[in-house]
Amino acid sequence: MDFSIKAFDTKNTLAAAKTGCVAVAVFENKKLSAAAQALDVNGAITAALKSGDISGKPGSTLLLRGVAGVAAARVLLVGMGADDSLTEKNYSSAVSAALKVFATLGSQDAIIAFPLGEVKERDAAWALRTTVIAANEAEFRTDAQKSKKEAAPGGVRKIVIAAPEAGQLKTALAQSIAIANGMNLTKELGNLSPNVCTPTYLADTARKLAGEFGFQVEILERKQLEALKMGSFLSVAKGSDEPPKFIVLKHNGGKSKDAPVVLVGKGITFDTGGISLKPGPNMDEMKYDMCGAGSVLGTFRAIGEMGLKLNVIGIVPACENMPSGRASKPGDIVTSMSGLTIEILNTDAEGRLILCDALTYAERFKPAAVIDVATLTGACIVALGHHTSGLFTRHDAAHDALAEELLDAGRQTGDVAWRLPIGEQYNEQLKSNFADLANIGTPGGASITAACFLENFTRKYTWAHLDIAGTAWKSGAAKGATGRPVPLLTTFLMNRV
């Protein structure tokens, strides 16, 4: 989809704009938005409302053709609910409804002239981003590996967004497009079959991003990981024939002396559970166990496109978790890069085993903050469902501030998270008779004990953990990666600038 932004005024009026369709908002109390009033030259829109042909309820639509006094071939009326309480839900519903109609039109171009700055507790930049991401989602296809591709999407391909302060919103539009493109990459990686999206494929993707956007990239191989004594990461990788890759991307957008923000993404490109084998039904969805890694790569694509003036480092430990004669066994004890020993009580709790060495590796960058992102626990889905990511961090001034930054970025984008507790009382559940700690806790609070496990490897910097097990992909008829939490992470980084 091609987007642009334009201000319409008394010289270049909306009514005089030559386009295939103009979408404008109407309300339940039969009121017209300012843009609808500008097109109501001969009272056709007012008449349509009075006739009851459109209710004005959120998402309701009415397509008018050949409206007198309007140069556009069509005018699309879109309901937004009550005009005095335009909520983000109502606005989002209106955008989705307009896009559905656009897809059916015989025209390639359209204008969206919605009241961007009138959504309660939101600004025009939020409305702009919501519009762009929704349009991007509407045209996203999952047929990359089909022999016969779906028919190319018809309808509108170019959208002009009408805004009174168009000049001030050009940067916001560019940022919105960058976030949408980052989400696309994350979705594409997640949806690829696991025989294609291997650790090597993720490494190649990182190299391509580096080439396109000028990142520095380093791919550590098995011998280098052995030299670094990443015994925990390598214990997961050794069951597979696919070689592990440890990916490091650097975006040097800030001043050379500025401490970087480090993003760490779990990159299990397929998770069988290892010797602690998962049940067969829905195991295909374990290709999504690299969505933490995918979101880090997607975020890098977004910040690279927008040229973000911040130093950011991405770390992706990538491997498969497979059962074999070489695979880790329940009861094995491994030594992590930090020197802490770990008793592996369940080989299906492998994400934390690769992340802990990555979190230790992050120390060398003397980071301003480290955020790890992982499809870590099914327990997080039990706690929060599929709408909200889990956020975990320590409780002190610095960590509370980091948590609020991440929560606020989620609220800004609708890519929301919820903070859950961690603490020493939960660490008690990770005690082992034979090693420094176990890789699973005693029953209860499994997503919390997983976060507590990671926290043991983050004592030298400010850190937060995002559990995206419930938000990274959808199951059922809508099966596919969601692109989350790219909006949250990218906005968090933008806010830091």
DSSP state of 428: G
CA distance 86 to 28: 11
> For 48-74, what is the mean pLDDT?
94
pLDDT in tens, 383-435: 999 999 999 999 999 999 999 999 999 999 999 999 999 988 999 999 999 99
**Percentage with pLDDT > 70 across the chain:** 100
DSSP state of 137: H
Residue bearing tokens 């969505």 = 291
CATH 3.20.20.60 fits 179-496, yes or no: no
pLDDT at res. 372? 98
Residue 301: half-sphere exposure toward Cβ, Cα within 13 Å: 28
Residue 29 has pLDDT above 90, yes or no: no
> For 17-34, what is the mean pLDDT?
94
Is residue 350 within 8 Å of 454, Cβ to Cβ?
A: no
pLDDT in tens, 226-252: 999 999 999 999 999 999 999 999 999
Q: Which residues are catalytic?
A: 278, 352
Closest CA to 430 of 405, 448, 407: 448
Q: What is the pTM of this model?
A: 0.96
Residue 151 has pLDDT above 80, yes or no: no
Backbone angles phi, psi at 127, to 5 degrees: -60, -40
pLDDT at res. 471? 98
Backbone angles phi, psi at 406, to 5 degrees: -70, -45
Residue bearing tokens 């009033």 = 37
CA distance 488 to 494: 10
Residue bearing tokens 């976060």 = 451
Spans of all domains in the chain? 2-164, 179-496
pLDDT at res. 121? 86
CA distance 218 to 207: 8
End-to-end CA distance of the chain: 28
| Helix/strand/coil percentages in the chain, nearest 5 | 40, 20, 40
List, as one string, the DSSP characters of 26-74.
E-TTS-B-HHHHHH-TTSHHHHHHHHTS----TT-EEEEES-TT--SSE
Residue 260 has pLDDT above 90, yes or no: yes
CA-to-CA separations, 116 to 61, 93, 104, in angstroms, rounded: 18, 14, 24
**Percentage with pLDDT > 90 across the chain:** 93
Which residues fall within 8 angstroms of residue 113, CB to CB, at 6 or more apart?
8, 14, 22, 23, 24, 25, 33, 35, 38, 162
CA distance 456 to 355: 11
Strand partners, 466: 373, 391
CA distance 176 to 63: 28
Closest CA to 402 of 393, 390, 389: 393
* Helix 291-306 and helix 199-213, axial crossing angle in degrees, nearest 10: 10
Give the pair of three-digit tokens for residue 468: 């995206």
pLDDT in tens, 344-353: 999 999 999 9
The radius of gyration of the chain from alpha carbons, rounded to an integer in Å, stands at 25
Lowest-pLDDT range of 26-40, 246-260, 303-317, 336-350: 26-40
pLDDT in tens, 92-128: 999 999 999 999 999 999 999 999 989 998 999 999 9
CATH superfamily of 2-164: Leucine Aminopeptidase, subunit E, domain 1 (3.40.220.10)
Exposed/middle/buried for residue 460 (C-beta within 10 Å: 0-12, 13-18, 19+) = middle
Question: Average model confidence (pLDDT) for the chain?
Answer: 96
H-helix or E-strand spanning residue 127 = helix 124-139
Exposed/middle/buried for residue 326 (C-beta within 10 Å: 0-12, 13-18, 19+) = exposed
> For 6-14, what is the mean pLDDT?
89
Give the pair of three-digit tokens for residue 40: 């109501």
pLDDT at res. 83? 81
